[in-house]
Amino acid sequence: MNQIRRFRMTALAEGSSFLLLLFVAMPMKYMMGMPKVVTVVGAIHGILFLAYVAQLAKLRTTLQWDNKFSFSAFLASLLPFGPFIFDRHLREKEAATEKPYRLPS
């Protein structure tokens, strides 16, 4: 699996955990009195967010992504649904870096 694909998978997991935190765990905490759910989902989301930022920093240097693209990727992680919308741009980057498959001669 290439670096961008791995980053995309982390981004989608991070985005999913953020939505779970906002739309499932938080309502369970405040409407059902279950604060432990926020603790667990929040910890998972925090770990995924740190992995996202670390992978972004690594890709920024190894693939020489420009500041605008890197900042957009970071900003996407802060917004609900952001990683899912930004995934289109990551798929384009991934397609541009993939080597075409050649049949052995």
Residue 105: is its pLDDT beyond 80? no
Asked if residue 41 is part of any domain, the answer here is yes
If we measure between CA atoms, which residue out of 23, 22, 83 comes closest to residue 49? 83
45 pLDDT exceeds 90? Answer: yes
Given a cut of 90, whether residue 12 has pLDDT beyond it is yes
Q: What domain range includes position 50? A: 3-97
Q: 53-104: per-residue pLDDT in tens?
A: 999 999 999 999 999 999 999 999 999 999 999 999 999 999 888 776 666 7
Q: Is residue 103 part of a domain?
A: no
Is residue 102, in this structure, part of any structural domain at all? no
Q: Write down the mean pLDDT value for the chain.
A: 94
Residue 104 inside a domain? The answer is no
Residue at 105 is within a domain: no
Q: Tally the domains of the chain.
A: 1
Query: In this structure, is residue 30 part of a structural domain?
Result: yes
pLDDT for the residue numbered 71:
97
pLDDT of residue 101: 67
Q: Which of 86, 1, 92 is nearest to 52 (CA)?
A: 86
Residue 96 has what pLDDT?
Answer: 87
Rounded Cα distance between 44 and 88, Å, is 25
Asked if residue 52 lies in contact with residue 10, where contact means CB atoms within 8 angstroms, the answer is yes
Is 75 contained in some domain? yes
